[in-house]
Structure 1
Amino acid sequence: ETLSKVPKILGLKEDKAISVYYDFVKEIIEANKSFSRKKLCHSSLPQGSRQENKLRNVLVLRELGVPQRLLFPLLISDSLVCGEGKFEESLKKVVEMGFDTTSSKFIEALRIVQRVSKKAIEEKVQVYKRLGFAVDDVWAMFRKWPVSLSLSEKNMSNSMETFLELGFSRHEFTMMVKRFPQCIGYSAESLKKKTEFLVKQMNWPLKAVASNPAVLGLSMEKRIVPRSNVIKALMSKGLLGRNGEL
């Protein structure tokens, strides 16, 4: 059962690490089976070591209610190897932003806040401001998609240029990113391919794409093209009007 929860533990290079993490995962699984949420203490590892930091930080997250499915993968990543002071500071910021501790967004936000320096975050906020976003917009976007604060200035600027080249206005660009922040992280090729298909093949007005930016996050092969084929088939049989009405 223990290995089924975190099979990648077996991929760790150090035998000692495998043993420590295996015992740790097993202890958490057993503790969670009881109705009373038992408070655990991490193993007596050298203070300040990577393993000690990681286990301590994982236990702190467990006490906050982070579920096993999100906790255990952290043991085989370098997300939580920072010391206690930096970890607690980062954790406090993310919790105060109102993230749900049972969601993957919470872990992603914690990773970003730990990894990106205060100075770098301030610089990224300034970049967003130059692109037309208010400071409140930036943090609202971060809560929706934490990765938004890890993008480079070049990626952000190139994304805006791509949207403008496709015919969207600057206002539509900012509106789309505020509604669906992930779209600022898509490649120019992906944005062009999907937008052109929606406009030319599915006859969507550009404003319709701007009003529904989440469509740009759908898979061309699995969602967009199949839906287009269904609509075309229904229209060919007279079951849908030209604008898609039944």
Structure 2
Amino acid sequence: MSRLDLARTLSYNPILFTRSLKNCVIPCYTFLRSVVLSDFKVVNIWKRHSWIFGAILSKNVIPNIGLLRELGLPQSSITLLVTYHAEIVMRKPESFSELVGEVEQLGFDPQKSSFVHAMHALYGKKTTWRRNEEAYRRWGWSDNDILSAFRLCPLCMIKSEKKIMETMDFLVNKMGWKLGKLAKFPYVFLYSLEKRIIPRCSVVRVLLLKGLMKEDKLSLATIITTSEKYFLNMFVTRYLDRVPQLSNVYQGKAKYSLIL
């Protein structure tokens, strides 16, 4: 742990100075190290959730992790939850058990990391969830669309309202994508609008309007999730002889509407 990290954390959470090193801090470190299996990850927990080092883990954390192990969550998922969402495992066992039960009822597989992502999304259900639910509804998504999208990609329910609205506006109003396609591929909301979605979709829009591609042959997943090398080869380089400005569209130096 760097001196800077140590100083920054203790200055924001000086109550740690009042905790016993022998009876609290060291046992907490030892337990967390056994759970996340890495000193590097323990340092991440220190920087993100330092208050856990002053807690009595036997009250909440240890029984909650025990429940996850009984359910069959793999070590990688438990490490993910504890490292990045320690506030969830700090919940009282009764409340934690209710959250886990809700995720199970929605059909998430404990063997997959999406189980942890669903826990994260539902943890803030009273605030972030409801706000985003209303945002999706304003774009015409039904309750079934929202639930289906959540099951496919739980993290789509924790993005900011601004992110959702701007992504929807670009894909639906400017690019002409149908809402049904977006509901079937909610992963799109995890990607940067400026760095990935706009450049790639603008290129594809040019190809569609010039008749060089057919929309029914395209998958939003293929456009958004493929590596940059693959995208350039499939959607830019191979068409440069017919659309020389395609590189400029991809780089944001030319708007697709100006070259049609």
TM-score range, shorter chain: 0.5 to 0.7
The equivalent residue for 1:76 is 83
**Code of the aligned partner of 1:195:** C
The equivalent residue for 1:157 is 165
> Cα offset for 1:207?
5.4
Residue aligned with 1:132, SS? coil
Greater shift in the superposed pair: 193-202 or 86-95: 193-202
Unaligned runs of 5+ in 2: 10-24, 38-54, 240-260
**Code of the aligned partner of 2:231:** I
CA distance in 1, matches of 2:35, 2:221: 40
CA distance in 1, matches of 2:220, 2:33: 43
Change (3 A) 1:150 1:19: same
Q: Does 1:187 align with 2:187?
A: no
**Code of the aligned partner of 2:96:** F
The equivalent residue for 2:63 is 56
CA distance in 1, matches of 2:137, 2:35: 45
> Cα offset for 1:120?
4.2
Q: Does 1:85 align with 2:94?
A: yes
The superposition leaves residues 30-81 of structure 1 with CA deviations (integer Å, 9 ceiling, x where unpaired) of xxxxxxxxxxxxxxxxxx7356422221110111111122123433331422
RMSD: 3.2
- Conserved in 1, the CA contact under 8 Å of 2:28 and 2:57? no
- Conserved in 2, the CA contact under 8 Å of 1:199 and 1:205? no
**Code of the aligned partner of 1:166:** K
Matches within 5 A, 1:28-177: 49-50=56-57, 52-77=59-84, 78=86, 79-114=88-123, 116-168=124-176, 172=178, 174-177=179-182
CA distance in 2, matches of 1:87, 1:157: 32
TM-score by length of 1: 0.68
**Code of the aligned partner of 2:121:** I
CA distance in 2, matches of 1:131, 1:51: 46
2:222 maps to which of 171, 195, 215: 215
The superposition leaves residues 132-174 of structure 1 with CA deviations (integer Å, 9 ceiling, x where unpaired) of 00011101100000012112222211111111353315xx1x1
CA distance in 2, matches of 1:159, 1:230: 26
Change (3 A) 1:127 1:196: closer
> Cα offset for 1:228?
4.5
CA distance in 1, matches of 2:36, 2:125: 31
